[in-house]
Amino acid sequence: MVEKVCFTIFLCLSACLATLFPEVNGARRQPQDNKLILNGPEKLFVFGDSYADTAAYLGIGSPQPYNLWKADGEAKQYGMNFAYGGAGVFDTIEGCPNMATQINYLQQLLQQNVYTKHDLTSSVALATSVGNDYGNYHGQEEFVESITKQISVNLKRIHEMGVPKVAVTAMQPLGCLPLVAFSTGNYPNCDQNTNNITRFHNQMLKQRIDQLNYQTDGSPFVVLDLYAAFTSALNIKHDQHPGKSSFPHPLAPCCHGKCGEVDLSGKKEYGVCDDPKVAFFWDLTHPSQQGWFAVYSGLKSSLPHLFQPQQATAIV
């Protein structure tokens, strides 16, 4: 039996996989000389799963992965990436730190004076939750409600710690992931039942975020609509049928087998498609670099909401 290992985002992304805010393998970059966002944040704190990584668009140096930051004391100046591939809002079978535990790590850094409340007021946070919790459940209404409720609790906690703006991702259309499309027998189309669960999750999430913003000065919470960005990039009609797009086989993964793994002799245990640039999906669950570029193009217009004027967060 293969042991399941929980990796930080820094370790689990392959060179062929870009993320929501494109960057290569989480490598730390220096801030851009000319920020796209004037008076933008100086730090980024990231929580969640393998769909989370650093936001190059913000002009911030890439935040250090949490379990590696002590190796480079200066890296913390750009924030911290607490996300783990396979993590969920609650505990998942991979055994990764869930989102609440990841937020605990930031709380510990505050208690240790690694960061101060003043540090957090010049930051922005990104939380991703893209379906790992649903791996062992069938999306019962009560479970969806419990997940979205916990997400709202987590986001409120991040904001109350001193972070002025907190972004959270709506779930991508889970029924369009190759893993789901193949396993349900719907390939080359999406599984509509799974997408129905996803849309219900997103509706509940939006309601809770709207409520949080109504209860909080400055509307500090922002939803990044991955669902709409994915369906637009794939030209998906009626939540099921991918239409004509720049990707000839939209739901076909580029990598087959144990992507990124080699056997004891060094032989690859996977194969890669001839031209990754025409593949939307890299593996069974993650978009390719070109796929993320298409998704990011759909999200870019919503990112400035992270920098709208707001009332300052009180410092205690």
> Which residues form the catalytic set?
50, 283, 286
Alpha helices, DSSP H only, in the chain?
9-12, 99-111, 117-121, 141-160, 178-183, 192-215, 226-234, 289-299
Place of tokens 């369906």: 231
Cα separations in angstroms, 241 against 33, 190, 295:
43, 6, 18
d(CA 42, CA 147): 30
Name the one residue in this structure whose structure tokens are 């670099």: 289
The set of long-range contacts for 89-92, using a CB threshold of 8 Å and a minimum separation of 24, is: 89/129, 89/133, 89/147, 89/150, 89/151, 89/154, 90/133, 90/147, 90/150, 92/132, 92/133, 92/135, 92/136
Which of 204, 186, 70, 75 is CA-nearest to residue 139?
204
Q: Which residue has the tokens 């070109």?
A: 290
- Lookup result for tokens 């510990």: 108
48 Rama class: left (phi>0) / alpha (psi -120 to 50) / beta: left
Give the C-alpha separation, 158 to 154, whole Å.
6
Residue in 223, 226, 170 with CA at minimum distance from that of residue 201: 170
Coil, strand or helix at 48: coil
